[in-house]
Amino acid sequence: MNRSDIARAERALVEQVLKREDVGRRRMFAVAAWSVAGAAAATTVPASPALAQAAPARRILQKDDSRILNIGATVRSGKYWNFSTWITPVEEFYVRNHYPTPTAEQKPELDPRNWKVKVHGNGLERELELTYDDLLKMRSRTVFATMECHGNGRTVFWEQLDMKDVTGGNWVLGAVGLAEWEYVPLSEIFARAGLRPDAKALLFWSGVDGAGDIGRPMPMREVLSRPDDIGLAFRMNGNPLLPDHGAPVRALVTGWGGAASTKWLTEIKVATHDFWVRLNTKAEVFAGPDYPKPTPAPGDEFRNVGPEDIHGPMVEWMPVKSFITVPLVIEKSPSVPANYPLKRGELPTLAAGRQTIRGYAWGPQHGLRKVEYRIDGGPWREAHIRPPNLGRYTWSRFDFEWDAPAGEHVIETRATDNAGISQPPTVPFNLYGMANNAIPKFRIRVV
């Protein structure tokens, strides 16, 4: 198959997928995953007993992911230099927890048979309690969406922007992936709980992991601009959520940084006041001279923090970004990730001659329009965006051909979204290293 054949086949596949009914779609993906993995075709691996019991009508052909994954991770960066698929397999999906992964063995409330979410607050007409079973009976949707940690690309502050005072973990560029999420949209919750017109903010809260202080608020105007695109996710790439990704149910806030998508969800509160919690005060916020601190209003709700903890505005949408599947050189960062393929100061190598350079680009808020690249500071040229490119929330793969001459080179990539916003050469300093989308520089040695 040549490239246009592949593109046509991919488009046909996506169209087919988009037309299918819910269950059919998942089945197809599960089958595709099996054949890619080279596993025996048509082998049905049953769901775990707990899940099968909780969801008899939804049993599907399913891999037993629990046997191949390192459950219990606190952080695990995606090996983005190896990415090749459009959908990121769950085995390769980054994990970002502030505390160790809680499991149903330690926390019985996370067993799907026990799980409940409390939906309440003075912004609603009535309080609800929904079980996992209730959720499975409600109208659900699926979406192909990237999930990206705010801290993804923090490495670029240290390595390429000379901002050594930035603090936080070193993800390089691996804290992003694309999954097919199945979720019950908030619109469905509001239809049952009744939304009051004076509701101001919504809080997704877990309270299960670690110190019980993890959750994240959203302004109601943002929620109401897309109540079908935000919700309670219970499947990832067609399979029930794994413990690392928030089993049995997590929030899904498409387009916003991962911190908004509270895992191990247990509470949704809608109120006529704002909420201040750890993840919108002293973490997951822009702290720095270019970012004015928000001020709380009287009557606001504080959980585990006080007004003095507010360090800056909360990070919301993730900006337009790109990378090529080449590991960045690590020299000045405080650490090198455990699974990194290069030693400190080492350059990746590539054979001289004609090479296809591949990468990923995304514009969560407006969708991806264009990807450009340049070699050694030369002219910007347009890369080829490979379908599917499904607009906002999703990413696309791109590639370009390069006649690589021997020697050391620098490749830069610049994505532009449908609002005409491009990746900038630099971004303002922020202490926690949030949302860095400066044009990355990939140093490479051609031999």
Residues 6 or more apart in contact with residue 351 via CB below 8 angstroms: 404, 446, 447
Min dist CB 152 to Mo ion, Å, is 8
Backbone angles phi, psi at 381, to 5 degrees: -125, 155
CB atoms closer than 10 angstroms to residue 278: 18
- Go through the chain and tell me how many residues it has: 447
DSSP category for residue 67 = G
Based on the shown chain and the rule CB under 6 A, indicate whether residue 209 belongs to the binding site for ligand MTE.
yes
Q: Identify what 110 binds: Mo ion, ligand MTE, none; CB under 5 to 8 Å per kind.
A: none
Based on the shown chain and the rule CB under 5 A, indicate whether residue 96 belongs to the binding site for Mo ion.
yes
DSSP category for residue 48 = P
> What is the residue whose two structure tokens read 């909360």?
314
Min dist CB 413 to ligand MTE, Å, is 22
Q: Which stretch binds ligand MTE (CB under 6 A): 18-26, 134-142, 254-262, 342-350?
A: 254-262
Interaction with ligand MTE in 234-253: which residues (CB under 6 A)? Answer: 245
Based on the shown chain and the rule CB under 6 A, indicate whether residue 96 belongs to the binding site for ligand MTE.
yes
Q: Identify what 323 binds: Mo ion, ligand MTE, none; CB under 5 to 8 Å per kind.
A: none
Site string (120-159) toward ligand MTE, x via CB under 6 A: ---------------------------x-x----------
Min dist CB 263 to Mo ion, Å, is 11
Continuous segment of H or E residues that includes residue 35: helix 22-37
Total interface residues for Mo ion by CB under 5 A: 4
Distance CA 429, CA 78 (A): 25
Based on the shown chain and the rule CB under 6 A, indicate whether residue 254 belongs to the binding site for ligand MTE.
no
Distance CA 179, CA 255 (A): 12
- The radius of gyration of the chain's CA atoms, rounded to the nearest angstrom, is 22
Whole-Å CA distances, 39 to 33, 288, 445: 9, 51, 37
Site string (56-75) toward ligand MTE, x via CB under 6 A: --------------------
Q: Identify what 147 binds: ligand MTE, Mo ion, none; CB under 5 to 8 Å per kind.
A: ligand MTE
Min dist CB 33 to Mo ion, Å, is 26
Site string (257-296) toward ligand MTE, x via CB under 6 A: -xx-xxxx--------------------------------
Min dist CB 247 to ligand MTE, Å, is 10
CB atoms closer than 10 angstroms to residue 343: 8
Continuous segment of H or E residues that includes residue 302: strand 301-302
Min dist CB 145 to ligand MTE, Å, is 12
Q: Closer to ligand MTE at the Cβ: 241 or 411?
A: 241
Give the residue among 341, 358, 364, 351 at the shortest CA–CA distance from 411: 358
Distance CA 299, CA 252 (A): 28
Based on the shown chain and the rule CB under 6 A, indicate whether residue 94 belongs to the binding site for ligand MTE.
yes
Q: Which stretch binds ligand MTE (CB under 6 A): 57-65, 227-235, 256-264, 344-352?
A: 256-264
Whole-Å CA distances, 62 to 1, 43, 45, 144, 439: 30, 9, 6, 19, 39
Sign of CA dihedral 173, 203, 235, 8: negative
Cis peptide before 248 (omega within 30 of 0): yes
Token pair listed for 60: 């599907």
Our CA angle for 93, 312, 73, nearest 5°, is: 25
Q: Which residue is nearest to ligand MTE (CB)?
A: 258
Q: Which stretch binds ligand MTE (CB under 6 A): 87-95, 323-331, 365-373, 420-428?
A: 87-95
Based on the shown chain and the rule CB under 6 A, indicate whether residue 206 belongs to the binding site for ligand MTE.
yes
Based on the shown chain and the rule CB under 6 A, indicate whether residue 172 belongs to the binding site for ligand MTE.
no
The string over 53-69, giving b where at least 16 C-beta atoms fall within 10 Å of a residue's C-beta and e elsewhere, is ebbeebebbbbebeeeb
Q: Of the candidates 149, 252, 357, 361, which one interacts with Mo ion according to CB under 5 A?
A: 149
Q: Which stretch binds Mo ion (CB under 5 A): 60-68, 94-102, 184-192, 244-252?
A: 94-102
Interaction with Mo ion in 225-284: which residues (CB under 5 A)? Answer: 258-259
Question: Site residues (CB under 5 A) for Mo ion?
Answer: 96, 149, 258-259
Question: Site residues (CB under 6 A) for ligand MTE?
Answer: 93-98, 147, 149, 206, 209, 214, 245, 258-259, 261-264
